[in-house]
Structure 1
Amino acid sequence: MKIHYLISSLEDSEAIRALPAICKIFYELGHEISLYILSPPSDYLPHELRTSLLEGLTNIYCKHLFETKKNLFACCNAVTGILRRNPPDFLITSQKMATIAGQISGHFLNIPVVSWKHGTDDEKFFQTRQRFSRFWIADSSATRLYLQKKIKIPSDNIFTWPTYQPPRTLLWSAEKREYWRGTEALRLGFLASDHNKKSKTCLIKALSLLKKNHPNLSQEISLLIAYDPAASNYRRTLKKPGLSGRYSRNLAKLRDLHIEEIQGNLTTFYLHADILVQPAYTLEEPLHLYEAMTAGMPVITSPFPEMNRALNGGRNGTLLSKTSPALLAEAIHFYLKTPDLIRKKGQNAHSWIKMTYNRQNFVETGKEIIQKMEEILLAEKQQKLTSAVPSLTFNKN
């Protein structure tokens, strides 16, 4: 098959990290695949991701369609032009803008489209064009449920293909991880970015509540902060928060708390923090939560469909019933009193990631999707052949 793979951008995400492995499956099975990117090259890519893309896409034709960001109309024109000049057997789309442009162009030119759905947002963008794609690929079980319940896509038209690829460095390091024993300060890990102000506020207030019951909190807890390298603007909100009034007063009570910052090296962060605390879940964070679990770290976060599954009924961490400073303070206090649980839940999290996101499952699902595409092409060829053959009529004399 000749396949065009259309994406919106190369910005760091689970979808992009899995791209080399996805293309490799198609390429090794003898299919011709070309990659088209709607946005200009990204200003920043983590070194490991850049290396992975360069090595993994060596045999794949890749092209950025624009040098500056364009609107939907321009994207549709560009995609339509490519499909006309070099029509593929299938167009695969990934990410919102690419999916919308690909669905419209493919429908107009009668080229079959397969669409990825990452996450459970943007319902209004996909509801009206859901039938423009022959079938959908959900990146998680939660996304599959979303496509069925919200977008009303039949179950038979959805494949679940988890995109997370556990980094080998974290898998190997987790086997030798030294867990907190309760004899030194508990290192709370927090990943800061421009998108999680609610998490920052909740964490500051939770630590202030803990301070009331733990006068020597600075001897029991330290804070390890990492800054998401993909974020465009690093704000030191925990040391100089964009907060006012009582929030600033809460922070002032924590001046004696030891705060350590890590910039640009998330692997170091995952291996040195004892617990990852992200009380307000955002759509940008699944990757980081998974990587913490890969490294053998339990997670404290808020309810979200995919996290309900990942935390496995509390075996791999703690799922707060809501984003509440009081509940977060209670959860941290519980871990302070039961250090053995950090080891147990951290090891459970690591084992769950290895079992759920292994290479064999990834490849087998890819093969099933390719088989589905081949079946669709074969059915269309048979239909065209049938319609091209004139019907034979027999006259009885």
Structure 2
Amino acid sequence: MKIHYLVTSLENGGAEFAIPSIVQSLQRHGCEVKVIACEPRDMKAAPKLEAAKIPYEVMFDSRQNVFTYTKAYLKRVKADRPDVIWTSLSGATMVGQLVGKLAHIPVVSWKHSAAVRIYTQIFRKLSQLWIADSAVVEEFLHQTMRIPKKDILSWPLYYCDTQHTKTNFWDGKRTLRIGSMGRLREQKNYVVLIEAIDTLLKNRPDLQ
């Protein structure tokens, strides 16, 4: 099976950094996978693809609009037709869905967060299969985006790197340190984390 793995960009992000592991898993099952990015951004995910010997291409060297991406990718598909278009992130998902519809190619789409853009909601039926990267996202796809459970597959992307030194569990006595890293955007749901910390400190002021 030939798969085009279409992603919005190769920037420094969780969805992009998971690509090598996902593609290698597909390759182990006999799939031929080509990663195609609509735009570059910071390209910090590219070295991971190169290290894993995964072929990739970037359609444009700067940000364009969805119509330009769609036209270029449709041309790309006509020259090298895949059996499946596999999309990741909102922008690439819309491009893949439109091209899949025009070229009669089935589309598989990742959902990486429990938030949805308006156009993703509108075009949701253009993907034949949705893949949730967590149980929370799986529930979001079904309850909020109204996608039938038969059209949803859960593929959790979290894994523990056992090569790094493990820290000791909190003993209930020493200072409790909680850390998080991510963009200050609504889909990261930092409001819940802040409210949880506030509740924790109100109930356990000795932890401050």
Say whether residues 1:12 and 2:12 are aligned partners.
Answer: yes
Question: Which residue number corresponds to residue 76 of structure 2?
Answer: 82
**Whole-angstrom distance in 1 between the partners of 2:169 and 2:125:** 51
Q: Which runs of 5+ in 2 are unaligned?
A: none
Q: Does the Cα contact within 8 Å between 1:18 and 1:164 map onto a contact in 2? A: no
The Cα offsets for residues 215-247 of structure 1, whole Å up to 9 and x where unpaired, read as: xxxxxxxxxxxxxxxxxxxxxxxxxxxxxxxxx
Please give the secondary structure, in 1, of the residue aligned with 2:9.
coil
Partner of 2:202: 330
1:81 aligns to what SS in structure 2?
helix
Match of 2:95 among 88, 96, 101: 101
Q: Please give the per-residue CA displacement for 1:58-91, whole angstroms capped at 9, x wherever unaligned.
A: 0x22001110011111111111111111111111
Counterpart of 2:107, as a letter, is V
**CA 54–63 in structure 1, closer or farther in 2 if over 3 Å, else same:** same
Task: Output the amino acid matched with 1:195.
Answer: L
Query: In structure 1, what is the equivalent of residue 67 of structure 2?
Result: 73
Shift of 1:168: 2.8
Equivalent pair of 1:14/1:163 in contact (CA under 8 Å): no
Residue aligning to 2:187: 283
Gap change, CA 1:156 and 1:121, over 3 Å in 2: same
Within the candidate set 168, 173, 182, 1:177 is matched to 168
1:142 matched residue in structure 2: 136
| Identical pairs, percent | 26
- The offset of 1:150, in angstroms, is 1.6
Map 1:313-392; keep pairs closer than 5 Å: 322=195, 325=198, 327-333=199-205, 335=207
**Partner of residue 119 from structure 2, selected from 122, 125, 142:** 125
- Whole-Å Cα distance in 2 between the matches of residues 81 and 8 of structure 1? 17
Amino acid in the other structure paired with 1:97: G
- Within the candidate set 177, 200, 207, 1:188 is matched to 177
Q: How far does residue 333 in structure 1 lie from its aligned partner after superposition? A: 1.8
Classify 1:155/1:179 alpha carbon distance in 2 versus 1 (closer, same or farther; 3 Å): closer
In structure 2, the CA distance between the partners of 1:330 and 1:20, relative to structure 1 (3 Å rule), is: same
Q: C-alpha displacement at 1:330, in angstroms?
A: 1.5
Structure 2: distance between partners of 1:324 and 1:181: 16
Question: What is the root-mean-square deviation of aligned Cα atoms in Å?
Answer: 2.8
Tell me what 2:27 maps to: 27
What is the CA-CA distance between 1:22 and the residue it aligns to?
Answer: 0.8
Q: Encode CA deviations 1:269-295: one digit per residue, 9 max, x unaligned.
A: xxxxxxxxxxxxx5347xxxxxxxxxx
1:54 aligns with 2:45: no
Asked if 1:156 is matched to 2:150, the reply is yes
Change (3 A) 1:27 1:20: same
* CA distance in 2: counterparts of 1:111 and 1:141, whole angstroms: 28
d(CA) in 2 for partners of 1:41, 1:23:
21
Rounded to whole Å, the distance in 2 between the matches of 1:132 and 1:102 is 9
1:126 to partner: Cα distance:
1.9
SS state at 1:63 partner:
strand
In the alignment, is the contact (CA less than 8 A) between 1:134 and 1:157 conserved in 2? yes
Give the deviation of 1:19 after TM superposition.
0.9
> In 1, distance between residues paired with 2:117 and 2:183?
24
Preserved CA contact (<8 Å) 1:94 1:116: yes
Give the TM-score normalised by the residue count of structure 2.
0.86
**Structure that is richer in helix per residue:** 1
Change (3 A) 1:165 1:83: same
The Cα of 1:190 is off from its aligned counterpart by 4.4
SS of the counterpart of 1:74?
helix
Contact 1:126 1:151 in 2 (8 A): no
Distance 1:30 1:192 in 2: 36
Q: Quick one: distance in 1 between partners of 2:182 and 2:169?
A: 27
Task: Determine if contact 2:12/2:42 at 8 Å carries over to the other structure.
Answer: no
Higher alpha-carbon Rg: 1
**What is the deviation of 1:103?**
0.1
Aligned length: 208
Counterpart AA for 1:69 = R
